[in-house]
Amino acid sequence: MKLITAIIKPYKMDDVRNALSEIGIEGMTLTEVKGFGRQKGHTELYRGAEYSVDFLPKIKVELAVQHEVVDRVIETILETAQTGKIGDGKIFVTNIESIVRIRTGELDNEAI
Amino acid sequence: MKKLLMIFVLFTGVAFPSFASTEVLNGANTAWILTSTALVLMMTLPGLALFYGGLVRRKNILSILMQCFSIAALSSILWFVVGYSLAFGEGNAWIGDFSKVLMVGITKETLVGDIPESLFALFQMTFAVITPALIIGAYAERMKFSAVLIFSGLWLLVVYSPVTHWVWGGGWLGQMGIYDFAGGIVVHITCGVAALVAAVVLGPRYGFPRTPMLPHNLTMTVTGAGLLWVGWFGFNGGSALAANGDAAMAMLVTHLSASAGALTWAAIEWKKFGKASVLGAVTGMVAGLGTITPASGFVGPGGALIIGVSAGFICFYSTVYIKQKLKIDDCLDVFPVHGVGGILGTLLAGVLSSTELGAFSGYGYAEGITTMIGQVSVQLVGIGSVIIYTAIMSYLLFKLVAVMTDGLRVDKEQEITGLDLIEHDESGYNL
């Protein structure tokens, strides 16, 4: 079981969500986050003064999947969230020790 | 009463309107000033409260709303207890007297001109409410609530009431023939100068200018700005104290100047930074409104365009200069927008009231003044004296209040936490 965490551009969220649904992903969690990487920040203009804002808004998508589908999920996210321009984000893949579905108490793969 | 009037008119042949304009209540005028009073109060509650509230960081939103509401309530009471009497009591050239304390002797029948005195005092009260509230923009996000209340109350009586007497209450500036139709001097110069003093005395917010302190909700600010624009129709239009051509023309020039100010500020940003900002447009609008205020009854539509465009230019560059060059943390730019706008408008009222400027002509100089130099000189005396008086008295008041409240500012940790929690035990947003 793997946890896939993708940081993507906010406007790509709908595309990513739809594409993941099409390949059979049944759940995900998303969070509005702020951060910066190579894209750095941007400037904002208030009453004739430019302020540099370090943190840009991004969307963090988290989904727990079975080992076998990890590659397809990554491929799908790449296909839909990639613009080729700086600031497209990143995908992190980490191991999950265990999963419990709270409603039924099911464990691990049953609980995904 | 009506019967007696009719008999009087029949026997003397005095036309009703001319008689009415001096001694009898005029229903149309009264209705318009009742309406204007509501419009001007709406400028503070909630216009200014929202305008300022959106501009601060979200940890301080409630402190701004609270300060606006509290100052409105406090100024209203002080106005009827003694402020109105100090401003409009007969007194001498410098200050009124105590003859109208708590409106003693003023009945439902007492008139000022041809409207009830209770209404005149109430209309004037809405100006006395917004003026100290405008100063909030300078000391926002760091001044103790106790200090805000004490300062605002004292300032109303020590600065606002006497200056109002000088200009509108029969005082020395009014006698010289100064042109301040709706409060360029009385409202905007006094609040602007007090704001500059506040920013200097208090010092900058923790982190200024290194840390960007961005507006937390510009939607709120634009909502407030819209209420200010509409409310200003009552501010300037109502200052004619009648439902007549003066009021209509004041409203027209007010609207044109606001429009020109908004477009000018936005255009400068567009040229300079490549984009026109929303905050820029609404700030230019406020600059246009503040600047036309003293001139609104005296200039024509052509003059109003000149005033609006110059307000956009000069207030824009003043804002940049004060904040970025001088690094004075007048947080919400009260001085460069209202103070500078008030000064500019008071000066231009002296110029553009001239009847000899072709399409840019106004409606003539004050009685007894025959030249532009004459009118402009009087305007300059008014501007200079009110700046000096306001600066000195505001400085002394801040020093006095600092002793009373053991320092004007909350401490550094409290400032970082935010005034909403520290001063009011509440959060603006629990989402």
ipTM: 0.72
pLDDT at B21: 43
- Residue linked to tokens 């969230």: A81
**Residue of chain A with shortest Cα separation from B280:** A47
Q: At what angle do helices B301-320 and B340-352 cross, to 10 degrees?
A: 150
Report CB contact under 8 Å: A48, B275: no
Domains, chain A, with CATH or none: 2-111 (3.30.70.120)
Q: What is the pTM of this model?
A: 0.87
Contacts of B215 in chain A (CB under 8 A): 46
B323/A49 Cβ within 8 A: yes
CA distance B313 to chain A (A): 11
- 8 Å CB contact between B349 and B181: yes
**Partner-chain contact A49 B273, CB within 8 Å:** no
Residue B343's pLDDT is 98
- Calculate how close chain B gets to A6, using CA atoms only, in Å: 25
CA distance B270 to chain A (A): 10
Residue A81 token pair = 């969230």
- Please report, in tens digits, the pLDDT of each residue of chain B (431 residues total): 344 444 443 444 333 343 434 579 999 999 999 999 999 999 999 999 999 999 999 999 999 999 999 999 999 999 999 999 999 999 999 999 999 999 999 999 999 999 999 999 999 999 999 999 999 999 999 999 999 999 999 999 999 999 999 999 999 999 999 999 999 999 999 999 999 999 999 999 999 988 889 999 999 999 999 999 999 999 999 999 999 999 999 999 999 999 999 999 999 999 999 999 999 999 999 999 999 999 999 999 999 999 999 999 999 999 999 999 999 999 999 999 999 999 999 999 999 999 999 999 999 999 999 999 999 999 999 999 999 999 999 999 999 999 999 999 999 999 999 999 999 999 999 87
Q: What is the tens place of the pLDDT at every residue in A19-67?
A: 999 999 989 999 999 998 887 778 888 988 888 888 889 999 999 999 9
- The domain ranges of chain B are 33-424
pLDDT at B5: 41
Q: What percent of chain A has pLDDT over 70?
A: 100
CB contacts of B324 in chain A (<8 Å) are: 48-49
Q: How many CB atoms sit inside 10 A of residue B34's CB?
A: 15
Q: How far is B168 from chain A (nearest CA, A)?
A: 34
Give A80 to chain B, closest Cα distance, Å: 30
Nearest to A45 among B275, B316, B319 (CB): B275
Query: Is A48 close to B279, i.e. CB distance below 8 A?
Result: no
**Is A47 in contact with B283 (Cβ distance < 8 A)?**
yes
pLDDT of residue B12: 40
User: Are residues A45 and B280, on separate chains, in Cβ contact within 8 Å?
Assistant: yes
pLDDT at A21: 94
| Residue in chain B nearest A47 by alpha carbon | B280
pLDDT at B22: 54
Per CATH, domain B33-424 is 1.10.3430.10: yes
| A47 to B214: CB separation less than 8 angstroms, yes or no | no
> In angstroms, what separates the C-alpha of A50 from chain B's closest C-alpha?
9
The neighbour count for residue B301, using CB atoms within 10 Å, is 14
Q: What is the pLDDT of residue B287?
A: 98
Q: Do B214 and A52 touch (CB under 8 A)?
A: no
Residue with tokens 């207030």: B315
Neighbours of B109 (CB within 10 A): 10
Q: How many CA atoms lie within 13 A of B70 on its CB side?
A: 17
Q: Which residue has the tokens 């209203």?
A: B76
Tell me what pLDDT residue B28 has.
97
Partner-chain contact B269 A53, CB within 8 Å = no
User: What one-letter code names the amino acid at B57?
Assistant: R
Residue with tokens 């939103």: B61
Which residues in A lie closer than 8 A to residue B313 (C-beta atoms)? none
Dihedral through CA B257, CA B260, CA B265, CA B270, nearest 10? 170
Cβ–Cβ under 8 Å, residues B49 and B223: no
Å between A30 CA and nearest CA of chain B: 17
- One DSSP character per residue, B294-349 reads GGTTTB-HHHHHHHHHHHHHHHHHHHHIIIIIS----TT-HIIIIIHHHHHHHHHH
A95: left (phi over 0), alpha (psi -120 to 50) or beta: beta
Interface test with B, best of A46, A51, A53 (most B CBs within 10 A): A46
> Cβ A53–B324 below 8 Å, yes or no?
no
Q: For every residue of A54-72, which 3-state class applies, written as one string?
A: CCEEEEEEEEEECHHHHHH
Contact B273 A52 (CB under 8 A): no
What pLDDT shows up at residue A17? 93
Partners of B316 on chain A (C-beta within 8 Å) are: 48
Chain A residues bordering chain B (beta-carbon distance below 8 Å): 44-53
Question: Mutual orientation of helices B278-292 and B245-273 as an angle, nearest 10°?
Answer: 140
B245/A31 Cα distance (integer angstroms): 59
Give contacts of B268 with chain A, Cβ < 8 Å.
48
